[in-house]
């Protein structure tokens, strides 16, 4: 049903859409990632960005079902707003309390969340962490929630650092419910406590936007030592001050493209029932980011 005839022009009148629901931007590289994979596997699907203002999200989701969309990714600011629109949630979406992947199925609209499995898979591929590793997670937003579940899945010890302690506590509790332990919470301005926790951590994850525009992280996180791992969820730019400082100090460092591609691969599997061509997706993502950097 989803296959197209090899060598024929595409898309055609039978091509079905998968869309990205976000607001405001069109800046995502998900279309390049998914369309490269659809092309590689000869699927009669096309991935488009649908900039959707918050007040329109309900109507747009309903319309997509009506016109035969296969699926959607959901990003800022809609990840929680789409939860009540779903007929069914996967246990993962239920646990995280947010949806990043919608699928229109025979049983109605299914909401899933592939961010945590994406990060757990990327961490596994990048650093192969052992159970019991200590993760220090900076941030308490949506990406941090997914990261806390990933740390739980990997059986890690978790310290959540954020400027709002109440939000950090919620992230830590989610981590604990997902299998992380022990968990602790530190306010970002408690510098002496942060120095102690950072020194004990093996993997430090930045789950804030700090670094997208050249910002540094709190000083203790900028002073990691060899043997530790700096893991930034930001992928554009690929070299944030946090990762550059780690690199200068001889510290293993990774940007967020691995997570982006791994969560995309998990969404792709939901929509198509097929194993995603991860190498093709990764090459498409790298090509578009390289091309963008060449332009700026």
Q: Is 123 near ligand NAP (CB under 6 A)?
A: no
User: Catalytic: 79?
Assistant: yes
Count of positions on this chain that bind ligand NAP (CB under 6 A)? 25
Q: Which two tokens stand for residue 43?
A: 């699927």
Q: Is 164 near ligand NAP (CB under 6 A)?
A: yes
- The closest alpha carbon to 188, from 134, 245, 138, belongs to 138
CB of 179 to ligand NAP, least distance (A): 21
Task: Looking at residues 63 to 92 of the shown chain, list those that interact with ligand NAP (rule: CB under 6 A).
Answer: 76
- Please give the torsion angle defined by the CA atoms of residues 180, 186, 191 and 197, in that order, rounded to the nearest 10 degrees: -20
From the list 3-11, 89-97, 104-112, 253-261, the region that binds ligand NAP by CB under 6 A is 253-261
φ and ψ at residue 16, rounded to 5 degrees: -105, 145
CB nearer to ligand NAP: pick between 218 and 277: 218
* Cα gap 82→257, rounded to integer Å: 25
Among the listed residues 10, 235, 242, 268, the single contact to ligand NAP using CB under 6 A:
235
Q: Is 144 near ligand NAP (CB under 6 A)?
A: yes
φ and ψ at residue 84, rounded to 5 degrees: -70, -10
**Unique residue bearing structure tokens 């093709």:** 280
Among the listed residues 22, 152, 256, 277, the single contact to ligand NAP using CB under 6 A:
256
| Catalytic one of 34, 79, 202, 255 | 79
Q: Is 96 near ligand NAP (CB under 6 A)?
A: no
Among the listed residues 71, 139, 156, 220, the single contact to ligand NAP using CB under 6 A:
139
* Cα gap 163→226, rounded to integer Å: 27
CB of 68 to ligand NAP, least distance (A): 28
Which residues contact residue 172 at a Cβ distance below 8 angstroms, ignoring those fewer than 6 apart? 148, 158, 160, 183, 184, 185
From the list 49-57, 230-238, 267-275, 284-292, the region that binds ligand NAP by CB under 6 A is 230-238
CB-side neighbour CA atoms (13 Å) of 10: 22
From the list 9-17, 42-50, 252-260, 282-290, the region that binds ligand NAP by CB under 6 A is 252-260
Handedness of CA 177, 178, 182, 188 (dihedral sign): negative
Residues that bind ligand NAP (CB under 6 A): 76, 115, 139-144, 162-164, 167, 188, 207-210, 212, 233-235, 256, 259-260, 263
């Amino acid at each position: 049903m989803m296959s197209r005839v090899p060598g024929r022009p595409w898309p055609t009148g039978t091509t079905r859409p998968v869309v990205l629901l976000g607001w405001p931007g069109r800046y995502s590289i998900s279309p390049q990632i998914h369309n490269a994979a659809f092309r590689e596997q000869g699927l009669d699907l096309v991935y488009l960005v649908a900039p959707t203002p918050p007040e329109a999200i309900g109507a747009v989701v309903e319309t997509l079902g009506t016109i035969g969309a296969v699926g959607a990714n959901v990003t800022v600011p809609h990840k929680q707003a789409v939860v009540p629109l779903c007929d069914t949630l996967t246990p993962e979406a239920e646990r995280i309390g947010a949806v990043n992947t919608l699928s229109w199925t025979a049983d109605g609209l299914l909401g899933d969340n592939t961010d945590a499995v994406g990060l757990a898979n990327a961490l596994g591929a990048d650093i192969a962490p052992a159970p019991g590793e200590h993760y220090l997670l900076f941030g308490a937003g949506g990406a941090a929630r997914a990261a806390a579940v990933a740390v739980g899945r990997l059986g890690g010890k978790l310290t959540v650092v954020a400027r709002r302690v109440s939000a950090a506590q919620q992230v830590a509790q989610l981590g604990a419910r997902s299998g992380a332990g022990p968990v602790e919470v530190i306010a970002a301005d408690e510098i002496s406590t942060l120095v102690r926790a950072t020194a004990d951590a093996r993997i430090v994850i930045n789950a804030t936007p700090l670094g997208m525009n050249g910002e540094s992280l709190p000083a203790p996180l900028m002073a990691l030592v060899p043997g530790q791992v700096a893991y930034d969820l930001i992928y554009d730019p690929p070299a944030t001050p946090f990762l550059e400082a780690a690199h200068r100090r001889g510290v293993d460092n990774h940007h967020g493209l691995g997570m982006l591609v791994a969560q995309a691969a998990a969404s792709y599997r939901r929509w198509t029932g097929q194993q995603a061509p991860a190498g093709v997706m990764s090459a498409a993502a790298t090509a578009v980011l390289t091309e963008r950097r060449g332009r700026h």
